Structure formats: C-alpha cells, structure tokens
Chain A
Amino acid sequence: MEFHRETRPVPQLPFITSSEGVVYNDSIDHGVTEAPYEHRFSPYDFNGGTTIAISGKDFAIVAADTRLSSGYEILSRNVSKLHEVTTKCVLGSAGCKTDVDQLRSVLDIQGKVYQHNHRKQMATPSVAQMLSNTLYQRRLFPYYAFNVLGGLDQHGKGAVYSYDAIGSFERSSYSATGSGQAYMIPLLDNVIGHRNRMDIEAELGAEEIVEIVKDAFVTAGERDIYTGDSVEIKIITK
C-alpha cells in the first residue's frame, strides 16, 4: 500500500500553517515526523522597486525609483526601470529584473517588426494591447513583471495603462505598481482623482504633477525598504 504524504516547502518561520490553523513549531523537525520538507528551486526573485505613471491633457509622466535589491541586499542604487518603447511611450516595470529585461527585448523586436511592416511607429494603445498579448502568451509561466505604460495616444492625449503579471490591463488616468504601490495609490486617488474632496477640482499641469510624484516617492522611500536611492522621471509631450 503506498503511503504518500503531502510535502511542504521548507518552513521559514517559527510556526507552521496547517489545516488546524497556526501551529507553533519550536524545534527543527527536518521533515521526519511532520510533513516532509521539499527544497524547491524558485525561478523568480523579487528585485523590488516602485513605478508610477500619471496622464495629463496632452502629456504623460512616468517615474520609477532606481534601486535594485535582492532580499535585504541592495545590488545597485542606479538601475533604470523605465524603457522607451516608442518616442511617444515609456514602459515602467518592477519585479524580477531578468523577466523585465527579457520582456523589453521582446517588445523591442515586435516594435521593430511593426515599424518595418507599417513604416511608422506603433501608437500607444497598440503598444498597450501588444504588451498584454505578450504577457498572456506566458500565462502558465509568467513574466514576473509589474508594468505600467505611459504615453501619448494617437490623438495627442495623455494615456496610462496598468497591468498585472499575466496581461490584464486597463487604461486609466494614473497608476502605480511595485513594492511601494500601497503607499502611493491612495494619495493619487486623493490628489489626482480628487476623491473624497469637496473643493473645486483644478487641472494640474506637468510641473505640479512632477512635484506630486516627488512627494509620492519620498513617502514610499521612507516606508518601503525596496524603494529609494533616487527617482527617474520621464515626461512625454508632443
């Protein structure tokens, strides 16, 4: 009679979560009496960072911090998370750096092919759709990349698109993604989205939005260990 016990990953914490709930584990069992350990290779690493994109009437602003980390270590204080896909569109990506780099390569190639075939650059909404399709093609072994796309659409209006790791996307007026998104998004709701406010909504220009972006990164830098060092801000205009 075969006896198979469900394996679990190596416990990192002093307690184990089982079907009974949280159980305190104060001795190292080595997978003998309790469920066996399984040392698993994880193909993903989280290299941290936060990216943000805000659209205006005829401009878009994309910004990201420049810290690259792995675990508690800082690998670099000056690595860019922003990538110009076309002259009218910038992609900001946080997550696993190697997946981000590969994704950018793939997008560049697809962009070049489009340009050779159509004799013009891809418009931002088309880039947005292409990125979604590219991400979904890897539905069962995803790119660990949290993307935000900012640029000008074919009518010259600011456009921001936000994504999840497997390509679900939405056009909106602002977005933040990465380790510090929780710190920034409520602020953007309040200041850019004008939520829960009774004062008159003023249209914000590019310089004012840049100041808001700087504030947002100072905040995230204070509270999130993966965000900091410096901020790179790209402003896309006609």
Chain B
Amino acid sequence: MSILEYNGAAMIAMAGKNCVGIASDRRLGMQAQTVSCNFQKVFPMGDKLHVGLAGLASDVQTVHQLLEYRLNLYELNEEREMSPQVFSTLLSNVLYSKRFSPYFIEPIVAGLDKDNKPFLSGSDLIGATVIADDFVVAGTCTGNLHGMCETLYKPDMGPDQLFETLAQSLLAATDRDALSGWGGIVHIITAEGIVTRELKGRMD
C-alpha cells in the first residue's frame, strides 16, 4: 500500500481558449473507510491561479498553508502578483528542498498569466515539473484520467465546453476507482473571473 494512496484523490487541470479549468473529487478516506465527502483539494492562490494537491491529506493541508505563506511573502516583498510560472517553480523548489523526506503529494497548477494565456503544470512528490498545453492529471486513478482526457480533449475549447469535458472526464474516471469520487468540484478560470460548479455523481 503506497502512502500516496492512503487518502485517495483525483484531479484534472485542462486548458481552453483563454481559460483554464481545474477539477477534483471530494472524497477523503482512510484506506477503505470514507471519512469526508467534502474535502477541499483545490485551493485558490490569487484570482487567476489555482493549485490542486493530491496525495496524503495531511501534506495537502500543510503544503497549501506553506504555499500561501510563501506567496504572500513574495507579494509583500515584490509588490506585484506572482505569475503561474513563478508559482510552479516555487512549488518545485519547496518540494525538492524536502528531497530526502518528501511531502507525499502530487500537485497540479492551473492559472492564467497576465496576458490571460493558460498555464498548466504538474509535478511529482519531489518537484520534477512538467508544463503541458493540454491537460495534467493527478491522483489514485491517473490511468483512468489520462484515458478520458486524451480522448475527450480538443484544443481551444470555450469555458462551457471545457466544463463539460472536465466534468465527464472526472466522473467517468472516478467511477472506476474505489478511492476517489463522492462528488466533484470544477473551477473554470477566465479573464472575467472564476465560476465554480459542484458535480452530482455516484456517492460510493
């Protein structure tokens, strides 16, 4: 049993035309037992940036607090907003600094840079980052998620179509994974703002 599979998670971040979306499931479990059905795994870091953290729940919350602290400190010192690229690098450095006693998380970053161009990245637990222009996935059912996203993804989707694609991909993938599911939440980030929708799915 891997420690990254103790609590269970599923998340996707996907790019559209001048918009990004990030979706996650809501389950928190302790191996077979489900403990919560509204556990937050995607956190806003500013108004055009979200970070999704899959993995051990304790580290999800700790790293979120750590990133918020580092982001706030940056913005106080630099007197400007942190761009998604810089945030992704910050995250990578934070994780690598714990190379030999890692945080057990698989983060994904989704945001719009100052020109409202989509930015997506994902990394492993020790900070190896991959920047994608289509989608990134993380969690206990990455095979299922990759399969769904690879098939349903089209470039340059509008915000509504992006939402449908994210929702269908997440629901279909989590329905075949015992450790993730119990609902879903999807955030679509555009230049105008963020629209958040909750998904009604199988609660098992």
Task: Report A's interface with B, CB cutoff 8 A.
Answer: 22, 24, 180, 182-187, 189-190, 195-197, 215-216, 218-220, 222-223
Whether the Cβ atoms of A196 and B146 lie closer than 8 Å is no
How far, in angstroms, from A197 to B175 measured CA to CA in the complex?
13
- Once A190-B172, A195-B172, A222-B150 are accepted as A-B contacts, the answer to whether A183 and B143 lie under 8 Å apart by CB is yes
Q: Would you call A187 and B175 a contact (CB within 8 A)?
A: no
A184 contact from B100, B147, B168, Cβ within 8 A? B147
Considering only CB atoms, which chain B residue lies closest to A220 in the complex?
A: B147
CB distance from A232 to the nearest CB of B (A): 20
Contact A219 B147 (CB under 8 A): yes
Minimal beta-carbon separation of A15 from chain B (angstroms) = 11
Which chain A residue lies CB-closest to B144?
A: A186
Bound complex: CA of A182 vs CA of B148, how far in Å?
Answer: 10
Residue of B with least CB distance to A223? B146
- In the complex, A28→B172 CA distance in Å? 44
Query: A216-B147, A219-B146 provided; 7 other pairs, C-beta below 8 A?
Result: A182-B144, A182-B176, A186-B172, A187-B148, A187-B172, A190-B148, A195-B171
Find the B residue at minimum CB distance from A182.
B143
Closest to A222 in B: B150
The verdict on B151 contacting chain A, using a C-beta distance below 8 Å, is: yes
Tell which of A180, A183, A195 has the most Cβ of chain B within 10 Å. A183
With a CB–CB cut-off of 8 A, which chain B residues contact A24? 100
The answer, yes or no, to whether B173 is at the interface (CB within 8 Å) is yes
- B201 lies within 8 A of chain A by Cβ: yes
Given A182-B144, A186-B144, A223-B146, do A196 and B151 touch, yes or no (CB 8 Å)?
no
A196 touches B168 (CB 8 A): yes
How far does the Cβ of B135 sit from chain A's closest Cβ, in whole Å? 12
Q: How many A-B residue pairs have CB under 8 A?
A: 60
Q: Interface size bucket, B side?
A: 10 to 19
Q: Across the interface, do B144 and A196 meet the contact criterion of CB distance under 8 Å?
A: no
B47 smallest CB distance to A (angstroms): 30
In the assembled complex, the CB of A200 is this many whole angstroms from the nearest CB of chain B, namely 16
Smallest Cβ-Cβ distance to B141: which chain A residue: A182
Instruction: Return chain B residues, CB-CB under 8 Å to A22.
Output: 3
On whether the beta carbons of A182 and B168 are closer than 8 Å, the reply is no
Q: Are A190 and B176 in contact (CB under 8 A)?
A: no
- State the CA gap A215–B153 with chains docked (Å): 12
10 intermolecular pairs with C-beta atoms under 8 Å apart:
A182-B144, A183-B143, A184-B147, A185-B144, A186-B147, A186-B172, A195-B172, A196-B168, A196-B201, A220-B147
CB-CB contacts of B128-157 with A at 8 A, as 1s and 0s?
A: 000000000000010110111011000000
Specify the chain A residue showing the minimal Cβ separation from B150. A219
Check if B176 sits within 8 Å of A183, measured CB to CB. Answer: no
Cα distance A167–B35 when bound, in Å? Answer: 35
Contact with A along B160-204 (1 / 0, CB 8 A): 000000011001110110000000000000000000000001000
Can you name the residue of chain B whose Cβ is closest to the Cβ of A180?
B147
Q: Are B147 and A195 in contact (CB under 8 A)?
A: no
User: Across the two chains, which residue of chain B brings its CB closest to A188?
Assistant: B172
- Which among B141, B171, B201 has the highest number of chain A CB atoms within 10 Å? B171
> Which residue from chain B places its CB closest to the CB of A215 in the assembled complex?
B151
Nearest neighbor of B146 in chain A, beta-carbon distance: A223
Residues A216 and B172 in contact, CB atoms below 8 Å apart: no
Query: What separation, in Å, do the CA atoms of A183 and B172 have in the docked complex?
Result: 11
A196 to B152, CA, bound (A): 15
A contact residues around B176 at 8 Å (CB): 182, 185-186, 189
The residues of B that contact A215 with a CB separation of less than 8 Å are 151
Task: Name, among A22, A24, A195, A196, the residue most crowded by chain B CB atoms within 10 Å (CB to CB).
Answer: A196
In the complex, what residues of B have CB within 8 A of residue A216's CB? 147, 151
User: A220 to B147, alpha carbons, bound, how many Å?
Assistant: 7
* Cβ contact within 8 Å between B150 and A223: yes
Question: Which residues on A sit within 8 Å (CB–CB) of B143?
Answer: 182-183, 223
0/1 string, B87-102, CB within 8 A of A gives 1 = 0000000000000100
